[in-house]
Amino acid sequence: MLTILSESKCFGGMQKICSHLSTETKCKMRFAVFIPSQAAVAPVPVVYWLSGLSCTEENFIIKAGAQRVAAELGMVIVAPDTSPRGLNIKGESDIENVGLGAGFYVDATEAPWSQGYRMYSYVAKELPALIGTHFPVDIKRTAIMGHSMGGHGALMIALKNSDYFRSVSAFAPICALSRCPWGEKALTYYLGADQRKWQNYDVAALIHKHIWRGSELLITQGSRDPFLDTQLKPALLQAACEQAGVALRLDWQEGYDHGYFFIASFIEEHLRFHARNLNEIR
């Protein structure tokens, strides 16, 4: 059952926060959804936003300033939480960058995380089915985007589900999850020590395994991002795309860092990118 926790009029549309009991995560999940006024007339395109480490469903809707552009373009934006909350796994709030707020959009196979840390299946399957049932979206025109950990999630989920997600973009994404400290730590907890399993969630590795059927990949990256060389590693994805013949647009933005001022500066460009791509699909 879907529960509306709050709703506020916003640029002629409605910003809602909702919850439901998830079969994938075995707990209540929250998500934010912006519904433009155009949705009252006919189904509209939908864009999923995946947030980064430590975020909830609220960070994006409060800080990014996306609703004004989404209202103009007539796009629904869905922003889920970044992990299950309420499983009460021992230590899930004590390990830095693992557990609460750090689901990394993978399906955990190692105990105790396997009992509900299934953010890949939640975002790729369960949530879109729920949105398609309860909100006026055109599921043939679906895009996904995200930031940092969520940028990794958006690119990875799009590559694995290109028949559904037809457009993808990311802000400062983790481009090779199995080859950075954040990913190595999280994947060890969630998937175990067998690094062959890690490749199933590494974007730079997946480029060679999945045929991307959508438009070019769009990545926006700040030049003064403190995580650029140690965690994000866009050069690895750029090289993989060149080898695989996948079109990648990597936009470098001089002087920008990793935070939401960076996201707010370029969110309009990303939404218009998705609008162009999705409006070509009817």
- Residues noted as catalytic: 148, 225, 258
Count CA within 13 A, CB hemisphere, residue 200: 13
Task: Tell me if 258 sits within 8 A of 172, measured CB to CB.
Answer: yes
Token couple for 212: 């991307």
Return d(Cα 11, Cα 245) in angstroms, integer: 40
Return d(Cα 228, Cα 46) in angstroms, integer: 30
Task: Tell me if 80 sits within 8 A of 109, measured CB to CB.
Answer: no
**Cβ-proximal residues to 230 (8 Å cutoff; 6+ apart), any chain:** 180, 181
Residue type, 152: H
Task: Tell me if 45 sits within 8 A of 34, measured CB to CB.
Answer: no
What is residue 271's three-state secondary structure?
helix
Count CA within 13 A, CB hemisphere, residue 72: 8
Task: Tell me if 168 sits within 8 A of 154, measured CB to CB.
Answer: yes
**Does a cis peptide bond (omega within 30 degrees of 0) precede residue 112?**
yes
